[in-house]
Structure 1
């Protein structure tokens, strides 16, 4: 039996797509092995958000071919899409595929010879249809990621993704619901709706309420207990959207609302589509509906032209928003984006200091949010045993609190009622309510 190995870099969308390709190979009779083992074919699903992702992809490609010269190496994903010729020039690459036509990957691998090179990257900006790739099973996971949308029309000045993924394409509702039903039948209790720009779902259908209609359809599926929305744009949360969302009880009280900066000047330079005042009003509206909701966000420090005053504005705004957690990124120039050519690039030492200050603030806000729930009973979906705390299993509440519980019985995949007792590192220790 032939063997295939996968190596995945980057986001949850990449992980979903790797799983979809894995199932295609399994249906064709392949055995999936670890990427450290000898295989007949290696599929490298690349990331290009930063140049570090490109570098990691190149390193893995060279190592694979050096160890397995007769294998077929297929490079897919965002790096392959944006730098197809560069990837083709890497010694050992056989197939370069990009971010479309991946449902044909088995055919290309089987037709390719070890000394052959095939470039099948097309012009992603001309693609208008969502590429249907389905997932039925995600090994070792209790929450299923479900891709509902592809592409982005935002063109933030620091981001390469619109050029790697193309324009917005939405998945048909009937295909989404069919996949959710399959996942539920396979034992999943939570689905996480993901995509490149989830808030744009349905824009290409010209349907105003497409995302809400999909959520209603998913909500009606028996056996599913949780629906989680991944990263969202603040502008999605209109009064109408919030009103309709609030009656869908399976929707988790956790939203990741991208901010990126608390400085008006920097937001404008980034080509973000909101002001800090608009963002503030949206957060206030969300909290009127969901008073104890977990709101998380992303912040970029050291964007070109960011002064100490700009950073101070960001710091104070983040503090005011009282997020439950934040992800902090140091800006790095991405070739092919407008911001890479901006003047006033910020030096590394300043980026590092600003990053550390925000990370510390984020930790303080996380603890403050966790403390609100100590002594309460929450439902926890358990995922895996805790590596550095023997005998404990970890899981998530619907508002994204990580909870650890000691139990002699296996808990993975179950939702149990847990009393929350004390904070331990970034988690909360709890006990099962008998």
Structure 2
């Protein structure tokens, strides 16, 4: 039998990690990984359900897989499969539905399904413990590795379905995290990206400390040069966390702090657990100790009942605090969440107009931040050759840098003097 596997990953970095863990299971069983556009004996679709558009994309990719090889085994897992398992199982050609648990047995179950008939739906309640998925980097093609350290969310923001798909918070133990981090460093990765569904809650369920405790432990690993943090809540960034992170040279000066709105009334309807002033204070703490830090965020426009005055408050707030990048999302009602049935749904044209305004504002702030590094020396982790003799890498702030070099720089961290900026890319010379 042709033992080939292809995977399609939709959604967040947590999904990316889980997909890689599943791919490595297949590799250990002798499977060759092929592109999702090619014919394969096994297809895995790791779904997302953050919006109804994510659901639709998930269904499209499920159907596409079976069209490419009608005789393949088709496994569907992830958040959409967890929320709508019966709908997924009803799609013609689906063989196994896993949801957000049981992924550690995916490859073994795929082999047992080769002769089975009909879909096997193994979706149950969301997991209570941290699922023992692991990676060693064998399926990765990047210079940084994603390391999942947390799952689940207890926040229940009014627009978000993810707590229902992922369950309550679960933290990976320090010992297990350090063990996997050491494996990844031994495999050649010098930067690790810590990720979770609600990363800021790490340790709250386990009693092992806080996210800062984990950062201290990881910082002791020889050969690990950079620790990059995934999305955080502003409530995490108190004096203790910020001063602790600033004291650790390996922690990247790049903080993605979810804002969602700069208007307190909107934040209350969203069931966010902070005010705009709380967010401002978190930003000020970071900048006081790490003035070169990149602070990025997410903002939702057109949330139910968002008036023009409320949007203007968000616009002014972002103008004032000058974050280096803003990911703008137009509110999309998600079935099963309180926000989906709120009165005062905002017209699509209004959402579009507000989105354009924030995107334009963010582009100017991003360029201003990047230009602030001109003539400065920055360590750059090089990822790939973008054209003959030119290599692309990232600074600790996650700014893109191009450098000309006859030496292969892939995977190396080198000091670079930043010389120019154009179209979102910094250009520099090796020192």
Would you call these one fold, judging by a TM-score over 0.5? yes
| Correspondence for 2:320 | 320
Indicate which of 115, 120, 123 corresponds to 2:122: 120
Partner Cα distance (2:337, 2:86) in 1:
18
Structural RMSD (CA): 1.2
Secondary structure of the residue aligned to 2:334 is coil
Secondary structure of the residue aligned to 1:205 is coil
Q: After superposition, give the CA deviation of every residue in 1:174-232 in whole Å (9 maximum; x if it has no partner).
A: 1100111111111111111001010000111134x332221111101111111111100
Q: Could you tell me how far 1:114 is from its partner in structure 2?
A: 5.6
| Correspondence for 1:52 | 53
Q: Could you tell me how far 1:390 is from its partner in structure 2?
A: 5.4
Secondary structure of the residue aligned to 1:431 is strand
Partner Cα distance (2:274, 2:210) in 1:
22
Partner Cα distance (1:377, 1:78) in 2:
42
CA contact (8 A) 2:153 2:163 kept: yes
CA contact (8 A) 1:71 1:114 kept: no
| Correspondence for 1:96 | 97
Secondary structure of the residue aligned to 1:224 is coil
Secondary structure of the residue aligned to 1:182 is helix
Q: After superposition, give the CA deviation of every residue in 1:140-178 in whole Å (9 maximum; x if it has no partner).
A: 200111000000000001111101111000001111001
| Correspondence for 1:81 | 82
Partner Cα distance (1:244, 1:264) in 2:
29
Partner Cα distance (2:61, 2:259) in 1:
33
Q: After superposition, give the CA deviation of every residue in 1:258-290 in whole Å (9 maximum; x if it has no partner).
A: 000011110000000001111111211121111
Instruction: Give TM-score, length-normalised by structure 1.
Output: 0.96
Structure 2 unpaired stretches of 5+: none
Q: How does 1:110-189 map to 2 (within 5 A)?
A: 110-112=111-113, 113=115, 115-124=117-126, 127-137=127-137, 138-189=139-190
Secondary structure of the residue aligned to 2:383 is strand
Partner Cα distance (1:244, 1:68) in 2:
52
Q: Would you say how many aligned residue pairs link Structure 1 and Structure 2? A: 428
- Relative to 1, partners in 2 of residues 1:56 and 1:114: Cα closer, same or farther, differing over 3 Å? farther
CA contact (8 A) 1:325 1:366 kept: yes
Where in structure 1 do 4 or more consecutive aligned residues deviate above 6 Å? none
CA contact (8 A) 1:70 1:114 kept: no
Secondary structure of the residue aligned to 2:292 is coil
Q: Could you tell me how far 1:367 is from its partner in structure 2?
A: 1.1
| Correspondence for 1:269 | 269
Partner Cα distance (2:258, 2:22) in 1:
29
| Correspondence for 1:214 | 214
Secondary structure of the residue aligned to 1:296 is strand
Structure 1 unpaired stretches of 5+: none
